[in-house]
Chain A
Amino acid sequence: AQTVTQSQPEMSVQEAETVTLSCTYDTSENNYYLFWYKQPPSRQMILVIRQEAYKQQNATENRFSVNFQKAAKSFSLKISDSQLGDTAMYFCAFSDSGGGADGLTFGKGTHLIIQP
């Protein structure tokens, strides 16, 4: 079974700063997918970014980028020019090579607070 670990329960930064959220995972598979989800106070789960393990290039989506280290089984999320609206819980998630057909495995989350 896969496991996902987020070691930072809470982080706080000033608006416009850059922040990095950490995630490590454990799997014996070679092909898989990794995701970062955002959960604002509304509870809605919002996909922020995804990474396919077979791609060496790190994924980017506007101000969000990842640092994917396959050998180290590390998948961190970098948020540049942080905004007040980025305040939320952030979850790292893993999916097997079936693209999530058997469901996602989530970490416990990091509560990110952006201070004005």
Chain B
Amino acid sequence: NAGVTQTPKFRILKIGQSMTLQCAQDMNHNYMYWYRQDPGMGLKLIYYSVGAGITDKGEVPNGYNVSRSTTEDFPLRLELAAPSQTSVYFCASSYVGTGYNEQFFGPGTRLTVL
């Protein structure tokens, strides 16, 4: 199992450009998440998905869009990139059934908007 994979690892964008951060998991997890980590801060939830076709906003969704067309993939779309979106982005997944459900994290994407 590759676990949770993210591409690209690094990216520099100009203000106003758009891009999609890719995330995939091969663990047959039903839940997937996107977090951002600003310098010196903990992770904050952007969006999450409970299954294919279903997404919901987290704490900081403005400026982002997501889709979940398959169980495996959960891309994050940035439209009109702004310097405030400079951050490290983490994708995570978990199998939510009953009780505790560990979240497995990808390696992160470092995004700089100049």
With an 8 A cutoff between CB atoms, is B41 at the interface?
A: yes
Task: Enumerate chain A interface residues (CB-CB to B < 8 A).
Answer: 4, 9, 33, 42-45, 47, 50, 52, 91, 93, 98-109
Q: How far is the CB of B105 from chain A (nearest CB, A)?
A: 4
B44 within 8 A of A: yes
Q: How large is the interface on B (under 10, 10 to 19, 20 to 34, 35 or more residues)?
A: 20 to 34
A98 and B41 contact, Cβ closer than 8 Å, known pairs A43-B108, A45-B105: no
12 residue pairs of the A-B complex, CB under 8 angstroms, read A4-B42, A42-B107, A99-B98, A99-B101, A100-B96, A102-B45, A103-B48, A103-B59, A108-B40, A108-B41, A108-B42, A109-B42
> In the bound complex, what is the Cα–Cα distance between A93 and B88 (angstroms)?
18
Nearest CB of B to A23, in Å: 11
- A91: chain B residues at CB < 8 Å are 42-43
Q: Is B74 on the interface with A (CB-CB < 8 A)?
A: no
Interfacial chain A residues near B40, Cβ < 8 Å: 9, 108-109
Inter-chain contacts of B94 with A (CB < 8 A): 99-101
Distance A107 CA – B5 CA, assembled complex (angstroms): 24
Given contacts A33-B100, A52-B100, contact A102 B42 (CB under 8 A): no
